[in-house]
Chain A
């Protein structure tokens, strides 16, 4: 699934991101394959997204979130 499909409160692990289409800054802010993301909330108009990446807060727009592959984490069982 993609990052933008998360619901507030859900956690996931980043699987893949396309560096050709996404700015390097995203990686520099700690978002890369293997990092854990949590959607905290969405802005009132559904965009941007307020995330926590490995515990550190970050906001990105929906169009960017749509290009990040993630895998949903269910509590207790890590990455099935």
Chain B
């Protein structure tokens, strides 16, 4: 039998770290293209026999639902038939905010779950001058209490032991509801009360009718919460002491600096600049290296393997296709490293605080900053991270504009195009022009997001008042393990998720590109020789002409010339049109597909790198295909177009509305098309 253990706790108590420590890298996250789930699960062994499935749930403050995040947790904890319904709940808390953390604990305990209380960050006890009397706490709460630190590893084995003893747990409730209101709660238990107060549904629990008004119920809820805090206060009085003289002065000074009216914004700006520059410049060395190796591999394969269709498929379809995925690993990894660092260190909460007032005129809240910034990694988790926004209008607007943030899938396109059309120069002697343009692209994304949000605010009516209540976690040194696990997890998801699509598409493109109707494609050689008879071409030139003719008359060429008229006003030839079209599956495929298209017929003779191939492409009149006008037009198209099927799917799910999903697709893609057209015609 497999025992299910749910980790529940407030945000920022170190739940992710506990999860990582318990499961190692045995985790499964479905957060990416295709299937999307909101819970992480992993397997952990406890002792010799017990196999445990650990379920990590979103951080919440209470079991009264204020936001979508909290609803997810409640679905898991209230419904006996839920796949994740736990046998044991571990409530994760931390030493500093124990009082607030325990509110949730008492609620979970009163639901009747076998419960273990894990107090994390034990390593901070001496630093903060805190003492905890575990025995007293355990006795008063009638629960196994374990003091742990995921940083030092302290207490982890005791935690596992406590979990494996779950059958012995005391399941009696902690709060005597009668002490909240004697007459009202005379014959009511906690679950019935939740049914009444928040419309919860439990198997076998009858709905209650009592004739009380909404406001009277709210008052009772408040009394219940206050009563819980009083009880927690009494427990902690005996078991918890904090030496007030221990200074945390640097934290306060850091807060003053990071939220300063001038320095605060400057630092935020500088941090963002650093992130974008790093993505562009730190990754260039490993990227060049990977690019070169794949080109060599292609050349090696076609030189070594016996000539034939299979070798061609490998050298011209599969290898360039895979290369187009692998090459972006350094950038994705660097990006997620920064996102993890911002979250883990506590800085992200300061950004929310700093930006709230500025975001409100756009119909957004400070909390929208988190989806917008993580949208720089990927729109999918970013849209999901909007779940903690309580106000439905702010949440909807945030989700609608988040795909404008420059996600990592656009990086490949931007990198290639920028290196083709923007000269490698320095501005002011120290800022790379290419990096600067990259940064501009990010700002363009945010600008589009804000402008659209402002428009939407005019259209969408507010249904409830918006509010902001957030905690300010103390600054913490990020755990290397957490940062690494985020990097590995997200990069793997990118390679596996996007990789499959890219590989499939590149094989498909190769096939369509190297086959064609017998009447034209099949007679390529004769036709070309006939056409150029008497022109005195060398063998090589003739060969080039034949390959060109073949590609134009292949299935993909026919398809491409079919859709070319749609994209001609934007300055794209048929090959680019095909690459743009396939990008609607996922943007990352753009480069891989172009690489495949340009490789077909090359027989991998010379090892050419993707960029060089694109640079050498010429229009019939001899001018470069990738000139400034086409380049800028492509940049704008990719900046605005809604091009990712997974994002569409997640939008549909999170907004629960096809209407908004379609509005988003049409608006974004329309904006992309017309701005690209405008730019092309201005620069041409």
Interface residues of A (CB under 8 A from B): 19-20, 23-30, 32-34, 40-41, 43-48, 50, 54-61, 63-64
Contact = CB atoms under 8 A, between A and B. Distances in A.
Q: Which applies to chain B's interface (DSSP): helix, strand, loop or mixed?
A: helix
B222 A19 contact: yes
A25 B256 CA distance: 26
Given A19-B215, A29-B471, A47-B357, 14 more contacts: A24-B218, A25-B66, A30-B229, A43-B353, A44-B259, A44-B261, A48-B468, A50-B255, A50-B259, A50-B472, A57-B472, A57-B473, A58-B469, A59-B471
Q: Which residue among B215, B265, B390, B467 has the maximum number of chain A CB atoms within 10 Å of its CB?
A: B467
Contacts, number: 112
B103 interface: yes
A24 B218 CA distance: 8
Interface in B272-295: none
13 contacts: A20-B218, A23-B469, A24-B225, A27-B221, A29-B61, A30-B100, A40-B255, A43-B356, A44-B261, A44-B265, A48-B353, A56-B97, A64-B468
B358 interface: yes
Interface of B: 61-62, 64, 66, 97, 99-100, 103, 215, 218-219, 221-222, 225-226, 229, 242, 252, 255-256, 259-261, 264-265, 352-354, 356-358, 366, 390, 467-474
Contact of A24 (B64, B260, B473): B64
Nearest to B226: A32
A54 B259 CA distance: 22
B226 A45 contact: no
Closest 10 CB pairs of A and B: A44-B261, A57-B472, A45-B357, A28-B62, A32-B226, A59-B470, A19-B222, A27-B225, A19-B218, A25-B66
Contact of A60 (B218, B219, B221, B469): B469
A27 B226 contact: yes
Contact of B99 (A27, A54, A63): A54
A36 to B, nearest CB: 12
Contacts of B225: 24, 27-28, 32
B73 to A, nearest CB: 14
A19 B353 contact: no
Contacts of A33: 226
A9 to B, nearest CB: 11
Given A23-B469, A50-B353, A61-B467, A28 B97 contact: no
B353 A59 contact: yes
A19 B353 CA distance: 24
Contacts of A44: 259-261, 264-265, 354, 357
A23 B588 CA distance: 43
Contacts of B97: 56
Contact of A41 (B61, B255, B474): B255
B470 A23 contact: no
**Residue in A19, A45, A59 with the greatest tally of chain B CB atoms within 10 Å:** A59
A24 B66 contact: yes
B215 A20 contact: yes
B572 to A, nearest CB: 45
Nearest to B224: A27
A77 B306 CA distance: 93
A63 B357 CA distance: 12
Contacts of A29: 61, 100, 469, 471
A56 B581 CA distance: 52
Given A40-B255, A41-B256, A25 B61 contact: yes
For A28, A29, A64, which residue has the most chain B Cβ atoms within 10 angstroms?
A: A28
A50 B354 CA distance: 11
Contacts of B265: 44
Contact of A19 (B62, B219, B354, B469): B219
